[in-house]
Chains A and B, each alone.
Chain A
Amino acid sequence: MLTRWALCALLVASALVGCTADTGDPVRLTVLADRELGDLGPLLADLRRDTGVDLVLDLRDSRDVGTGPAPGASGHDLAWVGSEALFRLRAGRGGPVPLSTSTMVSPVVVGLRPAAARRLRAVSARPSWADVADRVAAGELRLAVPDPHRSDVGLTALLGLATAAAGTGQALRAEDVTCDRLAGLRSGQEPTGPDPAAEFAARADRLDGVVDHESALLTLNASGSLDEPLELVYPRDGVVLSDFPLLLLDPGERAAYDRVVAWLLDPAHQQRIMATTARRPVDPAVPREQRLSTDVGTGMFLPESADVLDRLLAAWDEPTTAHVVFVLDFSLSMAGERAAGLRSVFGALSGTGTGGFARFHPGETLTVVRFAGQPLDERTVTVRGQPDLDRLAAAVAPDDFGRNTAIWSAVRQAYARNPTSVVLVTDGENNAGISADDLLAGLPRPAPPLFAVRIGAADPVELRRVAEATGGALVDATGGSLVDAVRGVRGC
């Protein structure tokens, strides 16, 4: 009996049409497409020859594609975006869901010049987002990062960074987003437009690396336009993949859409897409090329609601000109272990690869006020590089512990410096200088938040009362790590 496949074989042999993608009536479809999909150009002619469908890509920044109007309203027949999840989050869950097919995948990764990669790997053999953020904040890595407002790659990278910073092991929630964790990367990055790999290549002399899709970085490496190829870093704490769905906006074009999708998913064409664009096939059975056989590592969970994205972008936009005043108790009871703890906090935040997301970063102004029965001394630095951070760490080195504890006088001095937030670390009760009420009476309204870190026997009631009156909080370091406590309350 003649089979469908015999028929197909014949049709192929006579070069009339393919088997999985039939030529129907010639049709032209307009596609609202993410700019980076311009690299599919060479394939579109063959697609047209095999299926009769002429895809006309209208290339736009991902912002203009992803936040596009409801299906059909843009006037395009199809949309081709980077991320199904981002598209649907923006479209709003519960709204109409266009027919959609993932066509290929690529993770968002960090590409580094070999020397920069060596420096990063000296900190950690398998670097994490925290390690990357830390080195950027330290001014050691100058990284091109696409603007998350304009580019899905940038937004995806930001999601990866923020999810890693939250460290919950689950999808990012709005309440997990804290601007201070993002400020490190933001301060040291070079913002770029929607084609970071190309912009990196143009400015390669003053940059160490770039955040982009694996596909874009491999393509840049293969182009020969760099002196030496970039090394790809797949952050240990997780990567986010883009899945490049093709969406049917005009349901009336279903037949042509079916032909296009069938063609794209055909294993032979999946292979060609891979060879042409360096994106990974969506078909698990298509073997990956050598350059795409790298283990991408752990996949990060994506948030399930759009307000997380809004919150994230808002946090990214927070100014990085923070001025944090640390008010540190140097009364006698702090001598020994507690002072050693304080110094290790400053060591960690000033950066030897252990500060992670919370470390001090360029652009930030930091003041240290040490006090006992009265303010002992005060030092302010604006961070531009490591020497500034070294000076800051030196400010907590002296061993001149004093009698008595004038907490609120020292805090008043801190507020006089016009800070964005105040971090108080104490182990005692106020027994000198002004009272808490005196302080509160003199504060501006609204006052910048005071975060009170309580060590040992310090009175929690009064500390909490003042902290909460300023919109800050009491953090208990009594049983836990002082480093974690201080990291948790930097604010922005």
Chain B
Amino acid sequence: MAEEPTLLVVRPRSVLRRKRFTWVLVPAVLVAVVGAITLSTNGGVTAPIPDVVVVEAKMASKEDFFNDAVVRRVLMENGIQVHLTATGSREVATGDLGGYDFVFPSGQPAALLIKQQRKAERRFVKPHKPFFSPVVLGTYRAYADALVEAGVATPQPGVEPPMYYNVNLAGFLGLTRAGKTWQGLGGDAPLGNGNRVLAQTSDVCYSNSAGTYMGMAAFAVNDRRPPADEAEAVALAEEIRPLLTAQGFPGDDMAQAYLAPEGRGLAPVSVFYEHQFLAHQVRTKDLHGGPDSDRVLLYPEDQVQAVPELIALTPNGERVGELVTNDPRLRRRALELGFRVFETDDVSTSGEFGAFLREKRLPMPVSGIGDTETFLPPLDLLEKMIKTVGRC
């Protein structure tokens, strides 16, 4: 669930935590295995447990995938246990890579930095692109309705009531700039929220979703043009900075804050990934028979495709990359966790993803994903803008 924490966050880990697991060191487990094999008459256990390799990995929001019980089980059956260090995506790239078997930053800028660095050092590096998920704004129906009323959002055609809306970021940020508060937006049902109209993000200094949102905001404010040179990039970053820092101290996990029962008051419009929302809807549907109809998504009209790259740094990391990309059960699980898996052509994602949503009777969002590269400035300029906005 975690999205782009600003700090290292550690998630539950399992029993086997040494670099290389050996049976001799843990007699208690041996006892258990003997017990397990005696169960095999009714439990169907036929094969002995393979040697288990503990694989060290560092990532941000994609830890949702590796923390998942089903994913861990499938990997374990393949003799792999992933030990996670959770961190912001940019920290994945800028921090020490020593001791890690693979990293999984949420966006391309961080991935590019790592690949460039490893190639320069002539060290093992092998990227995989198993799936992706766009950066979105999660919100609540009353807030979406207020934005429609204010003329900056439109419901996507399809189901009633809508689960997805398109938002015009230039118009949305115009409300922030004008000092509008949610309760000042008017509409039929006053929102009773004196906070300024804005989308809360995690720390732009660490997080890919926040950095991407910053890039989209800059693009929207700059008449749909990325800055061309450093001077323009810095000026543009300074121009949008007050709009992005009005939220003050950034949260460390926007999806968690948004999805909490208190989310409506604490994080009513929050920037995170589509997969975090869809995983919640799939879970809600499975538990209660229907979707959570109060939580809805806003898709920026000019979308940036956030393609996370699983970058193997060792042969063990490469085994994980291969499995995540090709194992049918892991691909299926990725869909259930809300990711758009790449199909065999490595380009399109709508087929399996669409079929899965239809199967779950959830509506299919239309995301305005176009040509990513034209939206975000070149990597060095994006970095410059992030550092300008975040003062980092």
Q: Which residues on A are within 8 Å of B, measured CB to CB?
A: 1-8, 10-11, 14, 16-17, 19-22, 24, 84-85, 88-89, 93-94, 97-102, 105, 167-172, 236-239, 241, 245, 255, 257-259, 261-262, 265-266, 280, 282, 284-285, 288, 293, 295-304
Distance in Å from the Cβ of A242 to the closest Cβ of chain B? 12
Q: Are B14 and A298 in contact (CB under 8 A)?
A: no
Distance in Å from the Cβ of A388 to the closest Cβ of chain B? 32
- B247: which of A10, A170, A255 is its contact (CB, 8 Å)? A170
Q: Are B76 and A4 in contact (CB under 8 A)?
A: yes
The interface residues of chain A lying within 8 Å CB-to-CB of B12 are: 20-21, 261-262, 265-266
Q: Are B195 and A99 in contact (CB under 8 A)?
A: no
Distance in Å from the Cβ of B48 to the closest Cβ of chain A? 8
- B248: which of A2, A5, A88, A304 is its contact (CB, 8 Å)? A304
- B256: which of A84, A280, A284, A299 is its contact (CB, 8 Å)? A284
Distance in Å from the Cβ of B269 to the closest Cβ of chain A? 12
A11-B15, A21-B12 as given contacts; A299 in contact with B261, CB under 8 Å? no
The interface residues of chain A lying within 8 Å CB-to-CB of B266 are: 241, 296, 298-299
Q: Are A100 and B8 in contact (CB under 8 A)?
A: yes
Q: Are B196 and A7 in contact (CB under 8 A)?
A: no
Q: Are B194 and A298 in contact (CB under 8 A)?
A: yes
Interface string of B1-41 (1 = CB under 8 A from A): 10000111111111101000000000011011101110100
A2-B49, A262-B10, A296-B262 as given contacts; A303 in contact with B73, CB under 8 Å? no
Q: Are B246 and A3 in contact (CB under 8 A)?
A: no
Closest to A17 in B: B15
Q: Are A4 and B14 in contact (CB under 8 A)?
A: yes
- B8: which of A99, A237, A280, A295 is its contact (CB, 8 Å)? A99
Q: Are B36 and A5 in contact (CB under 8 A)?
A: no
- A5: which of B48, B69, B261 is its contact (CB, 8 Å)? B69
- B249: which of A6, A8, A167, A171 is its contact (CB, 8 Å)? A171
Q: Does B127 interact with chain A (Cβ within 8 Å)? A: no
A3-B77, A265-B12 as given contacts; A304 in contact with B7, CB under 8 Å? no
Q: Does B179 interact with chain A (Cβ within 8 Å)? A: yes
**In whole angstroms, how far apart are the Cα atoms of A390 and B87 in the complex?**
60
Chain B positions 128-181 with a Cβ under 8 Å from a chain A Cβ: 179, 181
Q: Are A6 and B252 in contact (CB under 8 A)?
A: no
Distance in Å from the Cβ of A463 to the closest Cβ of chain B? 28
Distance in Å from the Cβ of B54 to the closest Cβ of chain A? 12
Main secondary structure of the interface of A (DSSP, over half): loop
Q: Are B260 and A284 in contact (CB under 8 A)?
A: yes
Distance in Å from the Cβ of A302 to the closest Cβ of chain B? 4
A4-B76, A301-B246 as given contacts; A20 in contact with B7, CB under 8 Å? no
Q: Are B248 and A298 in contact (CB under 8 A)?
A: no
**In whole angstroms, how far apart are the Cα atoms of A491 and B6 in the complex?**
39
- A302: which of B7, B17, B249 is its contact (CB, 8 Å)? B249
The interface residues of chain A lying within 8 Å CB-to-CB of B304 are: none
- A99: which of B7, B17, B32 is its contact (CB, 8 Å)? B7
Count of A-B contacts with CB under 8 A?
Answer: 173
Q: Are B194 and A296 in contact (CB under 8 A)?
A: no
Q: What's the interface size class on B, roughly?
A: 35 or more
Q: Does B45 interact with chain A (Cβ within 8 Å)? A: yes
A3-B77, A284-B1 as given contacts; A170 in contact with B8, CB under 8 Å? no
* 11 further contact pairs, Cβ within 8 A, besides A3-B76, A20-B13: A2-B47, A6-B45, A7-B36, A11-B32, A21-B12, A22-B15, A170-B198, A258-B13, A261-B10, A298-B193, A304-B248
A4-B73, A22-B15 as given contacts; A170 in contact with B246, CB under 8 Å? yes
Distance in Å from the Cβ of B287 to the closest Cβ of chain A? 10
Q: Are B10 and A258 in contact (CB under 8 A)?
A: yes
The interface residues of chain A lying within 8 Å CB-to-CB of B391 are: 93
**In whole angstroms, how far apart are the Cα atoms of A328 and B128 in the complex?**
76
Interface string of B189-225 (1 = CB under 8 A from A): 0001111101000000000000000000000000000
Q: Are B265 and A14 in contact (CB under 8 A)?
A: no
**In whole angstroms, how far apart are the Cα atoms of A107 and B216 in the complex?**
33
Q: Are A14 and B32 in contact (CB under 8 A)?
A: yes
Closest to B32 in A: A10
Q: Are B28 and A16 in contact (CB under 8 A)?
A: yes
**In whole angstroms, how far apart are the Cα atoms of A307 and B128 in the complex?**
45
Distance in Å from the Cβ of B182 to the closest Cβ of chain A? 8
Q: Are B7 and A100 in contact (CB under 8 A)?
A: yes
Q: Are A171 and B246 in contact (CB under 8 A)?
A: yes
Closest to B287 in A: A285
**In whole angstroms, how far apart are the Cα atoms of A84 and B192 in the complex?**
27
The interface residues of chain B lying within 8 Å CB-to-CB of A304 are: 245, 248-250
Closest to A239 in B: B265
Q: Does B382 interact with chain A (Cβ within 8 Å)? A: no
Chain B positions 253-298 with a Cβ under 8 Å from a chain A Cβ: 253, 256, 259-267, 283
The interface residues of chain B lying within 8 Å CB-to-CB of A167 are: 194
The interface residues of chain B lying within 8 Å CB-to-CB of A11 are: 15, 28-29, 32
Q: List 26 A–B pairs whose Cβ atoms lie within 8 Å, in order of A's numbering.
A: A1-B46, A4-B72, A6-B36, A11-B29, A14-B31, A22-B15, A100-B8, A101-B9, A101-B10, A168-B196, A169-B179, A169-B181, A170-B247, A171-B248, A236-B192, A237-B194, A239-B265, A241-B262, A261-B10, A262-B12, A266-B12, A284-B259, A293-B261, A295-B262, A299-B195, A302-B249
Distance in Å from the Cβ of B12 to the closest Cβ of chain A? 4
- B265: which of A2, A97, A100, A298 is its contact (CB, 8 Å)? A298
**In whole angstroms, how far apart are the Cα atoms of A366 and B7 in the complex?**
51
Q: Which 5 A-B pairs have the closest CB atoms?
A: A171-B248, A299-B266, A169-B196, A170-B246, A301-B248
Distance in Å from the Cβ of B362 to the closest Cβ of chain A? 19
A171-B247, A238-B194 as given contacts; A94 in contact with B392, CB under 8 Å? yes
Distance in Å from the Cβ of A6 to the closest Cβ of chain B? 6
Distance in Å from the Cβ of A12 to the closest Cβ of chain B? 10
The interface residues of chain B lying within 8 Å CB-to-CB of A288 are: 261
